[in-house]
Amino acid sequence: MRYLPLTDTDRADMLAKIGAASIDDLFVDVPAVAQLDGPIRDLPMHASEMAVERHMKKLAAKNMVAGEVPFFLGAGAYRHHVPASVDTIIQRGEFLTAYTPYQPEIAQGTLQVLFEFQTQVARLYGCAVANASLYDGSTACWEAVAMATRVTKRKRAVLSGALHPHYAQVVKTMAHFTGDDIADAQPAIQTEPDHEGLIARIDDETACVVVQYPDILGRISDLTPVAEAAHAKGALLVVVNTEPVALGAIRSPGEMGADIVVGEGQSLGVGLQFGGPYLGLFAVRDPKHVRQMPGRLCGETVDAEGKRGFVLTLSTREQHIRREKATSNICTNSGLCALAFSVHMTLLGEKGLRELAAENHRLACLAADRLTKIPGVKLLNDAFFNEFTLMLDGRPAREVVRDLASRGVLGGVSLGRLYPGVEALQQALLVAVTETTTEDDIEEFAAKLEVLVKEAA
Amino acid sequence: MNAPNKSGWKPEMVVSEDGMHNGPATTTGNRALMLEEPLLFEIGHPETTGVDLPELDPSAPNRLGGLARNDAIGLVGLTEPETVRHYTRLSRQNYGIDLGFFPLGSCTMKHNPRLNEKMARLPGFADIHPMAPQQSVQGALEVIHQLGEWLCKLTGMPAVAMSPKAGAHGELCGILAIRAAHEARGDAREVVLVPESAHGTNPATAAFANYRVEDIPATPEGRVDVAALKARLGPDVAAVMITNPNTCGLFEKDFREIADAVHAAGGYVYCDGANFNAIVGRVRPGDLGVDAMHINLHKTFSTPHGGGGPGSGPVVLSEALAPFAPLPFVRKSEIGEFELVEEESREETRGQTFGRMTAFHGQMGMFTRALTYMLSHGADGLKQVAEDAVLNANYILRSLEDVLHAPFAASGPCMHEALFGDKDFAEGLTTLDLAKGLIDEGYHPMTVYFPLVVHGAMLVEPTETESKATIDQFITAMRSLAERARAGDQTLKEAPYYAPRRRLDETAAARKPKLAYEADRNA
């Protein structure tokens, strides 16, 4: 077996040293009822590299690859071009095969990357401090709500109707068990988010208001009035961003008064990967909130010779110190995804990120104009970054998406799939465009969509 | 004065009275092949970029609703060659399993086959969207289904939840399923019992799910005190969380008896499966009475740790807890099609799912790696994995017990990790000093100060992918360090001498946290 270096002679020598007659002697503490007499039945025996590769390739071939067809899906996961050097760097064994930097003297590579990553995320979000990543955007969203309840000592969170419904579900699942009170709503089909409705739900019991920016329908709007209304009632504003590239073009949440900014970092460096692993981003605008933040933090310090170095810090908030007093049970972060994000961001720089964002927006405007030329297709939002909502006459968008796929186009996410019970949203199609979209892709999508919409009419 | 290294050769390094290296200073901070690397923000520039994109066109139409970001974001860029060099230099300040032996107990650092990486990067897995129409991602759904079947068969459990994104997230999944099961029968319970020999995440998880946590002591042999546990069981106890094999490196031999007692009292048994690699293919936890157990794919099934993550923590569930599993999950239809069940209202969820834990379907990239690893090993190989891991750990235990305090050496064989303490060290020397000395010998230190039940704990986990020659060399280094610590060699207090950094001031870092680069902003 190619990964196991011990020979039978080694095994015999080692058992002799231990004073055991056979390997079974080392399993004497396992009760007989749980001892198996041989390899588990119903599972195959070991296989060669070539055979395993054949099996996995066969499974991979059953999937329609995003990069090989016109592709317009978003809703919290975006297809961007990842420069080749990103994957080369994350595959370096010293990054790939290292553990959590518990011994900082020999983990300065990972630690410096995390420090640089924290700085990049904080600046992108317009915040003072970011942590060293969480699992993904949706779990980061729950952690933000949990943190807001700790900071304000209140138990009620008001969710915007236009928060990604999966994020809202994660928050509600967790809150059910922690006893926090979650108020949420469905998104209204209108050109702008309903800030007045949201503000009206903030009261003296509210720990935080959670808004998404750009929101699940792709809409963007000024959040300053929501921030002011929340602060006036002693509540925090949590802003969720699922497309970090957008922040190369539009104002940062921190600048608009967000207290906690969380989001999904998948767009930069990480890739689609059918939903994971992704990268949870988490930042706070006010440095005094740092000690209430969940997850890992990397801090600067000096070594015994006075040289600058980095360590994980403030871990008294974490599971391995105070056990039942821990404010979070987080043990793993998304270190390697954070590295990929950071390398991609370094390659872009300020100039590249702004240009990337502009190119995304340019192509999205182009697509919106082209698609709304189709009779029976209307654009919902006036303002958007790289994702917008189309309203289709006739058939449910869910069926249209299915039929488009069988014609070789991955044409957006139907809101009916995200909101199965909500009648008003069944005709809505969420379309995302990135720099990987070509004008030919847009044309092919439009031609095939037109046929399907016409069939329905 | 100088530390002997493993060959007995004494380096010609001179340590000055203040503990600093003597010798000529460099103007760059570089020392031959050991390279210093400035921070990105000290070498990058806002106008520099390593990608070619269309130049900004200020006159281009925009529909940003008047929200264009006009101020400087504060990011800097490097060209592609500068980027590659920056990160390559940083990588050289890291220790990873590819560089050498990494005996971090309870964390399981084993060889990461590059085949796994190659398979995860097949475009058919890497370049598919989580919300793609289901008929276009049948192969991906099949991977999730196949991996789930492997996990069920290896554990002897009937059901699995695949979406938890890490071990601790899996613990939360199991505990939430337990809470949901109690709620479904109208039986609110408030207490979770956690033995001292359990992982630190266990009590944190239970507390996070709003349970009151009570400790159960360990016996002098390093196992759960069964009598104390049974005495505490009652109608207020929702669950017991046990790590098995436990963090003392021992198998909880009374597990079945404990499980029966917990079940009789109306509670559930959560097993922390982080140490599953000690028994995989040889023992099925389902046969021991487990109700829920997470499996760290990044430990047992060798997906790389990446400097702290990502992980993946699927949870196997008993019949009693299966109906409460989170959404979404994959089911196979009678005609062999795979379907992702995402909606709470669906019949298949039996209306009892506790909800959604994460936006999409879990760590697909980890699933392909883990399935690749399982197929490579097969049922026979996985059994051999457990046996070799246990053999290597016992070999280390027996080879060092005469020079290092081994509190549970008489409790029977250890499983995949050996536990030592610093009781026999000379005055003033601690486990931390030995660990830092080990760095100078070219090894990553073992886990230190965990578990808490042993003074100055050192938890050594060799895993099955280490050769006898590597382990013998490590034993030689450990014996030398243990002897120096017992003899009071104070030079250990200054170790490491040869790492990219000497000991770092962690207290200063916490007292006045500096968590982002600011120098350019203050200028």
Model pLDDT for residues A79-124, shown as the tens digit of each residue? 999 999 999 999 999 999 999 999 999 999 999 999 999 999 999 9
- Nearest CB to B201 within list A49, A319, A325: A319
- What's the CA angle centered on B335, arms B332 and B337, to 5 degrees? 45
Look at residue A311 in the predicted model and tell me its pLDDT.
97
Q: What is the token pair recorded at A410?
A: 């991955």
Residue-wise pLDDT tens digits, B182-192: 999 999 899 99
Q: What is the mean pLDDT of chain B?
A: 92
Could you tell me the pTM of the whole model?
0.96
First-last CA distance in chain A: 62
SS3 (DSSP) at A452 = helix
Look at residue B9 in the predicted model and tell me its pLDDT.
43
* Chain B CB contacts of A115 below 8 Å: 39, 515-517
Spatial distance between the Cα atoms of A198 and A159, rounded to a whole number of angstroms: 8
Beta strands B458-460 and B418-420: pairing type? Answer: antiparallel
SS3 (DSSP) at A387 = strand
B353 touches chain A (CB under 8 A): no
Residue-wise pLDDT tens digits, A97-109: 999 999 999 999 9
Residue-wise pLDDT tens digits, B73-89: 999 999 999 999 999 99
Q: What is the token pair recorded at A33?
A: 């009822």
Spatial distance between the Cα atoms of A253 and A240, rounded to a whole number of angstroms: 9
* Chain B CB contacts of A53 below 8 Å: 115, 118-119
Task: Looking at the complex, report in whole angstroms how far the Cα of residue B140 sits from the nearest Cα belonging to chain A.
Answer: 7
In sequence order, what are the residues at sequence separation of 6 or more whose Cβ sits closer than 8 angstroms to the Cβ of residue B256?
Answer: A31, A33, A34, B288, B289
Amino acid at A126: G
- Nearest CB to B307 within list A25, A98, A103: A98
Task: Looking at the complex, report in whole angstroms how far the Cα of residue A400 sits from the nearest Cα belonging to chain B.
Answer: 11
* Chain A CB contacts of B171 below 8 Å: 329
Residue A42 to residue B83, Cβ atoms within 8 A: no
Q: Is B67 exposed, middle or buried (0-12, 13-18, 19+ CB in 10 A)?
A: buried
Residue A89 to residue B84, Cβ atoms within 8 A: yes
Spatial distance between the Cα atoms of A429 and A235, rounded to a whole number of angstroms: 34
| Residue B260 backbone dihedrals phi, psi, to 5 degrees | -60, -40
More confident residue, A315 or A203: A203
- Nearest CB to A105 within list B72, B355, B500: B500
Residue B361 to residue A290, Cβ atoms within 8 A: no
Task: Please say if the pLDDT value at position A294 is more than 80.
Answer: yes
Contact B306, A270 (CB under 8 A): no
Contact B237, B264 (CB under 8 A): no
- Helix, strand, coil fractions of chain B, as percent rounded to 5: 35, 10, 50
Among candidate residues A432, A190, A361, A443, the one with its CA nearest the CA of residue B131 = A432
Among candidate residues A337, A264, A281, A114, the one with its CA nearest the CA of residue B515 = A114
Q: Is B249 left (phi over 0), alpha (psi -120 to 50) or beta?
A: left
Strand order from edge to edge, sheet including A236-241: A129-130, A280-284, A260-264, A236-241, A206-212, A156-159, A181-183
Interhelix angle B364-400/B138-155, nearest 10 degrees: 30
Look at residue B3 in the predicted model and tell me its pLDDT.
43
Spatial distance between the Cα atoms of B220 and B206, rounded to a whole number of angstroms: 26
Buried b or exposed e, range A188-224, using 16+ CB within 10 angstroms: eeeebbbbeebbeebeeebbbbbbbbbbbbbbbbebe
Length of chain B: 523
Q: What is the token pair recorded at A22?
A: 């056979």
Residue A410 to residue B136, Cβ atoms within 8 A: yes
B371 touches chain A (CB under 8 A): yes
* Chain A CB contacts of B394 below 8 Å: 14, 18, 20, 26
Residue B69 to residue A252, Cβ atoms within 8 A: yes
Q: What is the CA radius of gyration of chain B?
A: 26
Task: Please say if the pLDDT value at position B8 is more than 70.
Answer: no
State the best of A63, A163, A388 to mutate against chain B, taking most chain B CBs within 10 Å. Answer: A63
Residue B49 to residue A358, Cβ atoms within 8 A: no
Q: What is the distance of C-alpha A434 from the center of its chain?
A: 17
SS3 (DSSP) at A58 = helix
Residue B514 to residue A118, Cβ atoms within 8 A: no
Question: What is the dihedral angle through the alpha carbons of A10, A16, A17, A22, rounded to the nearest 10 degrees?
Answer: 80
Residue-wise pLDDT tens digits, A20-68: 999 999 999 999 888 898 999 899 999 999 999 999 999 999 999 999 9
Look at residue B93 in the predicted model and tell me its pLDDT.
96
Closest residue in chain B to residue A81, using alpha carbons only: B51
Strands (E), A82-155: 129-130
Length of chain A: 457
- Helix, strand, coil fractions of chain A, as percent rounded to 5: 45, 15, 40
Task: Please say if the pLDDT value at position B29 is more than 90.
Answer: no
B86 touches chain A (CB under 8 A): yes
Q: How many Cβ atoms sit within 10 Å of the Cβ of residue A113?
A: 30
Partnered with residue A130 across adjacent β-strands are A283
For chains A and B, count residue pairs whose Cβ atoms are closer than 8 Å.
723
Chain B stretch 207-246, residues whose beta carbon is closer than 8 A to a beta carbon of chain A: 207-210, 213
Spatial distance between the Cα atoms of B168 and B202, rounded to a whole number of angstroms: 8
Among candidate residues B116, B309, B302, B94, the one with its CA nearest the CA of residue A265 = B309
Look at residue A188 in the predicted model and tell me its pLDDT.
81
Q: Is B342 exposed, middle or buried (0-12, 13-18, 19+ CB in 10 A)?
A: buried
Spatial distance between the Cα atoms of A146 and A327, rounded to a whole number of angstroms: 9
Residue-wise pLDDT tens digits, B388-408: 999 999 999 999 999 999 999
Interhelix angle A49-60/B138-155, nearest 10 degrees: 130
- Nearest CB to A1 within list B168, B284, B377: B377
DSSP string, B150-202: HHHHHHT-SEEE----SHHHHHHHHHHHHHHHHHHTT----EEEEETTS-THH
B387 touches chain A (CB under 8 A): yes
Residue B127 to residue A57, Cβ atoms within 8 A: no
Spatial distance between the Cα atoms of A434 and A264, rounded to a whole number of angstroms: 16
Spatial distance between the Cα atoms of A165 and A187, rounded to a whole number of angstroms: 10
Among candidate residues A149, A188, A183, the one with its CA nearest the CA of residue A168 = A183
Q: How many Cβ atoms sit within 10 Å of the Cβ of residue B156?
A: 17
Spatial distance between the Cα atoms of A167 and A171, rounded to a whole number of angstroms: 6
State the best of A106, A150, A184 to mutate against chain B, taking most chain B CBs within 10 Å. Answer: A106
User: Hey, CA dihedral for A120, A126, A129, A132, is it positive or negative?
Assistant: negative
Look at residue B21 in the predicted model and tell me its pLDDT.
55
Which DSSP state fits B340?
Answer: E
Contact B446, B460 (CB under 8 A): yes
Contact B407, B456 (CB under 8 A): no
Asked if the bond preceding A396 is cis, omega within 30° of 0, the reply is: no
B347 touches chain A (CB under 8 A): no
Among candidate residues B399, B444, B396, B445, the one with its CA nearest the CA of residue B417 = B396
Look at residue A330 in the predicted model and tell me its pLDDT.
77
Look at residue A325 in the predicted model and tell me its pLDDT.
65
Residue A271 to residue B506, Cβ atoms within 8 A: no
B167 touches chain A (CB under 8 A): yes
Look at residue A316 in the predicted model and tell me its pLDDT.
63
Residue B375 to residue A52, Cβ atoms within 8 A: yes
Residue A220 to residue B67, Cβ atoms within 8 A: yes
* Chain A CB contacts of B66 below 8 Å: 222, 383
User: Hey, CA dihedral for A404, B336, B118, B160, is it positive or negative?
Assistant: positive
H or E stretch covering A12: helix A8-18
Task: Looking at the complex, report in whole angstroms how far the Cα of residue A244 sits from the nearest Cα belonging to chain B.
Answer: 13
* Chain B CB contacts of A79 below 8 Å: 127, 129
Residue-wise pLDDT tens digits, A321-369: 555 566 677 778 999 999 999 999 999 999 999 999 999 999 999 999 9
Share of chain A above pLDDT 90, in %: 88
Task: Please say if the pLDDT value at position A287 is more than 90.
Answer: yes
Spatial distance between the Cα atoms of B158 and B338, rounded to a whole number of angstroms: 19
Q: What is the mean pLDDT of chain A?
A: 95
Spatial distance between the Cα atoms of B274 and B197, rounded to a whole number of angstroms: 13
Spatial distance between the Cα atoms of B329 and B162, rounded to a whole number of angstroms: 7
Closest residue in chain A to residue B56, using alpha carbons only: A355
B298 touches chain A (CB under 8 A): yes
* Chain B CB contacts of A429 below 8 Å: none
Look at residue B1 in the predicted model and tell me its pLDDT.
34
Q: What is the token pair recorded at A19?
A: 């004073």
In sequence order, what are the residues at sequence separation of 6 or more whose Cβ sits closer than 8 angstroms to the Cβ of residue B458?
Answer: B105, B404, B419, B420, B421, B422, B431, B434, B435, B446, B447, B448
Mean pLDDT of all residues in A191-220 = 96
B410 touches chain A (CB under 8 A): no
H or E stretch covering A236: strand A236-241
